[in-house]
């Protein structure tokens, strides 16, 4: 009876939402462990994340159906799941493997609560011969401009066959088609090696060097059909100087990319991210 759950929700703001959620949990025998909320006064929306566990007399089997009545009353978009239920994640990668290696490490030490359903690459396995894939299925799916639709179809088949819930583009240097981006909406995270909205597209570090910027960054965002325009989940920056070459920026950027992507993935896995139109509300820890 000590199993804990996490609920996240959003709806139009109105009086009584917090009281309604709290009263429901109390009446059904649950104890609130954490509660965070945000009122977007500019857009009129309300967002909430609640972590709770069952106490004596609670019946978790009816929890989802019972709360549906409260959700209908307030017009909520919501989700509910046990905190110890790992999400099923597929990682897509190209030649640069630093983000892949970092995610595998964090998963191995228990920092990222996920079951990896596969690693998909558009480069052959020997490209990653030095990487410990920990027995995770590896799929080499090369792509060309002419065969892009076929290759994406195979990826989507793998996602469906493995019940994958989240796709992570860990420096996967292929632009997803509009059809695939739509299919993976809200369940695909990309790491872009610049501080968006600046320096979109290819070779952003070289673009940054040409502009003489003093800060470089990385951005993790949900994938949409518009290139590098999806709702931003996490960002970070690092100071550079006039003496840094484009290669120095690439080297320093790798560290930023790894930590930004790892945080974004963890926030998603822990139900800390709620979409707010073209933006996100992130209840970071």
Question: Catalytic positions, please?
Answer: 228
- Rounded Cα gap, residues 188 and 87, in angstroms: 13
3-state secondary structure of 65: helix
Structure-token pair, residue 147: 């065969």
With contact defined as beta carbons under 8 Å apart, do 99 and 93 qualify? yes
The CA radius of gyration of the chain, in Å to the nearest whole number, is 21
With contact defined as beta carbons under 8 Å apart, do 280 and 233 qualify? yes
Helix, strand, coil share of the chain (percent; to 5):
35, 30, 35
Instruction: Enumerate residues 6+ apart whose C-beta is below 8 A from 278.
Output: 231
Beta bridge partners of 238: 216
Residues in the chain, total: 285
DSSP characters over 197-263: TSS-SS-HHHHHHHHT-SEEEEEEEE--SSTT-SPEEEEEEEE--TT--HHHHHHHHHHHHHHHHHH
Q: Which of 60, 37, 58 lies closest to 47 in space, CA to CA? A: 37
Q: What is the DSSP letter of 125?
A: G
């Amino acid at each position: 009876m000590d199993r804990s759950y996490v609920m996240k929700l959003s709806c139009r703001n109105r009086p009584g939402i917090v009281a309604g959620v709290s009263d429901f949990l109390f009446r059904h025998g649950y104890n609130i462990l954490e509660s965070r909320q945000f009122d977007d006064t500019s857009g009129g929306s309300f967002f909430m994340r609640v972590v709770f566990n069952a106490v004596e007399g609670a019946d978790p089997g009816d929890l989802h159906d019972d709360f549906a009545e409260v959700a209908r009353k307030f017009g909520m978009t919501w989700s509910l799941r046990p905190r110890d239920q790992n999400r099923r994640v597929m990682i897509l990668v190209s030649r640069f493997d630093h983000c892949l290696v970092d995610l595998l490490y964090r998963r191995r030490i228990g920092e990222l609560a996920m079951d990896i359903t596969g690693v998909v690459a558009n480069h052959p396995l020997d490209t990653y011969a030095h990487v410990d894939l920990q027995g995770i299925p590896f799929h080499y799916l090369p792509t060309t401009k002419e065969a892009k639709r076929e290759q994406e179809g195979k990826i989507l088949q793998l996602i469906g066959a493995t019940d994958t819930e989240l796709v992570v583009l860990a420096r996967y240097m292929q632009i997803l088609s509009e059809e695939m981006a739509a299919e993976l909406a809200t369940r695909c995270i990309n790491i872009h090696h610049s501080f968006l909205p600046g320096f979109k597209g290819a070779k952003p570090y070289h673009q940054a060097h040409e502009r003489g910027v003093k800060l470089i960054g990385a951005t993790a965002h949900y994938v949409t059909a518009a290139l590098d325009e999806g709702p931003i989940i996490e960002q970070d920056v690092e100071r550079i100087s006039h003496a840094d070459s484009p290669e120095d920026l690439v080297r320093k950027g790798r560290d930023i990319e790894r930590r930004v992507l790892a945080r974004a993935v963890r926030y998603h896995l822990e139900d800390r991210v709620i979409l707010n139109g073209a933006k996100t509300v992130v209840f970071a820890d």
